[in-house]
Every structure is written in C-alpha cells, then in structure tokens.
Amino acid sequence: MSKANVRRHILEKNKLLKEKEKPAPNILSKHLKRVYPIGLQRSSSSFSLSSLSLSLSQNSNDSSLTDCSTPLAHKISLALRLIAPHERREAPVDKNLQQQSQETDAGELKRCNWITKNSDSAYVAFHDECWGVPVYDDNPLFELLAMSGMLMDYNWTEILKRRELLREAFAGFDPNIVAKMGEQEIEEITSNKELMVAESRVRCIVDNAKCVLKIVREFGSFGSYMWGYVNHKPVINRYRYPRNVPLRTPKAEAMSKDLIKHGFRLVGPVIVYSFMQAAGLTIDHLVDCYRHSECVGLAERPWRHI
C-alpha cells in the first residue's frame, strides 16, 4: 500500500470515530421549543424550572403535548411529566382566616371602602344595621323609597341625620296617613327649617303615598309588588371594588318604568337602584366587608309573604 493510500485510510478512520463520538440531537429540546417559545433560560448551573413550569401550565390545553400515538411522542410525554409541576389542590377555606381578612390591622371590622374614618356616625350605623338588610313591610319600604328620592337634593349622610325628624313629620311613613295630608300639613313640613325639604318634594312624597295605596289594592301589599321584580329573592352580588358597583341595572330600569306607569315620581333608575340597595333587594356590600356574609345569610332565608 502506498503512503498516500495509508494516509487516506487513517483520515477516513478518524472521521468515522469522530462521528460516533458526536452526541445525538436533543429531541426533547426541539419539542420544548414549542411549549416554551422564548427558549429555556439557564441559571449558573441548571435550567430555570420555575419559568418552564409556568410555560407548561399556560400551554396545558395543547392537545399535541399529550398525543402518545408514537414511541417518540410517548417518551417526550413522559419527560414532560417528570419536569411538570405537580397538580395543586386548593386547601379548604378556613373560616377563621376568612374572618381575619375582614378585620383591619387595628382589629376593627372591615367595612365597604366608602365608609372611612371621617364618615358620620349616622352613615356608619346605616351601613352596619340597615343597608342591604331585606325589608318586607310596607311602611319601611315606603320610607326608604322616599329617602332615596331625596338623593336628588342631598347625600345619604345629610338625609340620615334628619331621619327621625322626617319620620315624625311624615307619621312614620305610614302611607295611609301621608296620603291624606292636606295643604296645612304640607306647609308645616315645608316651613320646618330643620327638615329643609322643598315643597315640591313634600308633595311628591304625599302623591307617592297615594300610589302606594293603589298598589296595595292591586297587589295585596307594597312589599309583594316590589319584591316581585327580583322573584322574591335578593340579588346577591360579589363585588370586590367600589368601581364594580353599578349605579343602575336592568331590573332597576324595569322597576322605574313600572313605578312611573303607576303614577310615582322621583323614581328614576338610579334612585330606584339606591332604594334596592338600601332595602336589601340587592346586596352590594363588597365581599371583604363583614356585612356581606351577614346580609347574604339574611337573604337566603325563605321568602316571607306579606
């Protein structure tokens, strides 16, 4: 054999040895690129499994990852299962922890965000004792509807601070008595500087009382008529932020139209929804407010026919 042939033989043999020592292509990495398109991130020593786990969980709906129709796909599937995070099981809700979340750092009960340290005590008491509590009797419902109508001129705090005076002036908001008020009674209420209710508003309350009596004759009670709009069961909402609480809803709009049809005044959709919130036809306490669960408990009681 010539020297040239010997040299060529040695070169070909070395080439074959190098090809045998060359590592096989990483098939797993090739397929992982589909589920982790931004590439695997390396730390100083190993892959970032936390970022990989996130990617896998986000792509868990990809049916191609679970197709084991071929041996190669089966091996890839097994490899993915080894590095995928274990399925998490939600721990049962601890009522004590839930109650703690409804308390502030100072140990006080957590209320809806619109109740602040500067809120008037009358407003706080209304939130804690009345707002969202289902009301069924005719007189309290008529009172809340009249007070909601006053929101055209005042806010809840200003109205609530005069609540007892208003009850005294309007005979406990008994529609049977208010409907019979004449010019003298209307003038006395209007001239009361502590009440600060305009004559047009007083006449509106008197006229609405007459409408309540018509409703009673037609439906049996004012409560049955009002609660019929929510199928005699409070609407339970689970809002987290004040911005989620609406000013009006389709139910409030429907109720507003029908009230106007029956002759009521100062009953626009926004006023009607404020009435629904106050009378507990809808529960809009924020979910982290301590009153939410309490009002929901009251709302889940069987309907009490009047």
Binding residues, as ranges, are 112, 127, 285, 289
d(CA 140, CA 158): 19
CA distances (Å), origin 178, targets 93, 173, 174, 215: 50, 7, 6, 15
- Among residues 104, 85, 102, the alpha carbon closest in space to that of 93 is found at 102
In terms of phi and psi (left: phi > 0; alpha: psi -120 to 50; beta: otherwise), the region of 23 is beta
d(CA 189, CA 199): 8
d(CA 156, CA 114): 12
d(CA 236, CA 167): 29
What does the block give as tokens for 79?
């490899």
What does the block give as tokens for 97?
């922890």
Query: Residue ranges for the binding site for Zn(2+)?
Result: 112, 127, 285, 289
